[in-house]
Amino acid sequence: MVDITSKELWLRVDEWAKKYGPLVRLSVFGQNMIFVNDADVACELFDRRGAIYSGKPRCGCENMIFFTTYNERHKRHRKLMQATLGPRNIAGYHKQLEAGSISLIRSLVSDPSNYNRHFRRYAGGLILSTVYGYTPSSSNDPFLLLGERSMSLLSNEMGAGIGLWPVDVFPILKHIPTWFPGASFKRNAVKWKLKISEFADRPFAFAKERLKRDTSMPSFCSSLLSEENVSPEREADIKWTANSMYTASADPTIAILSNLILAMLLHPQPFEIAKKEMEEVVGTERLPSFEDRDALPYLECLFLEALRWGSPVPLNLPHLVEKEDVYEGMTIPKGSFIIANLWSMLHDEFRYPDPYSFKPERFMNISDPETKRKLDPRTFVFAFGRRRCPGVDLANASLWLTLAAMVATIDVSKARNPDGSVIEPKTEYDDTFFRQDCIALQDYGSSSVEFA
């Protein structure tokens, strides 16, 4: 019997893929679960056959875009995000992104022992700023705390394992009353909905009130709510799309930042090369800006390798197969849950030779556009097809700028025990995201941050 909620399930599935092939099918009490372990197969199914593979199992949070089945509501929500977060709109957020990265660096240098808290405040604060026009006052800001509670529900309770519950396998359970033994999932769902709804309502109410006073900074909500004759349906779409942007972005951002720190610790040489490039292009009198990006090719490769090497979100949440399909002679039944094993794709030794090594140079001097696209980890990290994150351009910009600021300003090294011996960093994943919660950290100077 396979425990589908086991920790680091993607590693076990990757072993099966090496033995059985890129598509691995399990049957759990009659419910088919199919894991996709190859990037080309994933692109074929999720991109080219997206009409079949873009559904979602019901989970009780259908207002949120990444839990919504592929229907008219989902299309409306994506259009809202694309209209305000497309490549042509990102420049309007540059000042907010730059302010956020500067604040993070200052926090890391002045109080390195609480680096994880700084990451959380940066990720949550950046999203609250760009989505709602709200700037958190501290790490204990009520909106930040409300967002973290919502994220904890989604990642550690609703998304435990791979986001599947007994009712997914036994649909008849949805008909039992909440008081019935074994119906805890229904009682929990009621509580979860209330918490998620509270987090959708309160920041959105703030954005509406600020807009009435004409004092809101540019944001996703302000740009859409300022339209004439916003209908109640459109307002609801804006509210839930805004909420989805937070819940889809906060934890992955924190995970990627943790990956950057770990990579700095374990592979310092590439970061030394990036720092030298930074000094030659930017100098030491100012911080890097978006205008410097094209002149920093090695930093760009380091950014891509950090995304690939760490696999911050190893398994995508399940999609639902809308109708029976056949791929390479394998029947994929309607109603199957299909899951992309991103960890396996990003550690494919044929696509990325020596995949467990940190080698930014693997992305250097690739002239063929199609090869460049296939190797770019952003092709996979931000999901596929009709489920691909519409905020990918904003995420790409904010993460690159933060990496650039970190390379330019801080030195990271392993901490030491009182006897002088090096403390090796420990890493672990939780059910959904990469974590670095068991890391000791020391500070040996205002410009040097030591992690372990």
Q: Which residues are annotated as a binding site?
A: 389
C-alpha 280: how far from chain center = 32
Using DSSP's 3-state secondary structure scheme, residue 31 falls into: strand
- Report the alpha-carbon distance of residue 44 to residue 185 in Å, rounded: 35
* Number of C-beta neighbours around residue 330 at 10 A: 12
- Report the alpha-carbon distance of residue 353 to residue 88 in Å, rounded: 35
Q: Which residues are annotated as a binding site for heme?
A: 389
Q: What's the residue count for the chain?
A: 452
* Number of C-beta neighbours around residue 272 at 10 A: 13
Closest CA to 25 of 35, 15, 14: 35
| Radius of gyration of the chain from its Cα atoms, rounded to whole angstroms | 22
- Report the alpha-carbon distance of residue 22 to residue 311 in Å, rounded: 18
Using DSSP's 3-state secondary structure scheme, residue 5 falls into: coil
Alpha-carbon torsion, ordered 348, 353, 356, 358, to 10 deg: -130
Using DSSP's 3-state secondary structure scheme, residue 314 falls into: coil
Using DSSP's 3-state secondary structure scheme, residue 244 falls into: helix
Given its phi and psi angles, is residue 133 left (phi above 0), alpha (psi -120 to 50 degrees) or beta?
left
- Report the alpha-carbon distance of residue 210 to residue 377 in Å, rounded: 38
Structure tokens at 199: 């987090």
Pairing mode, if any, of strands 411-413 and 319-320? unpaired
Contact 275, 408 (CB under 8 A): yes
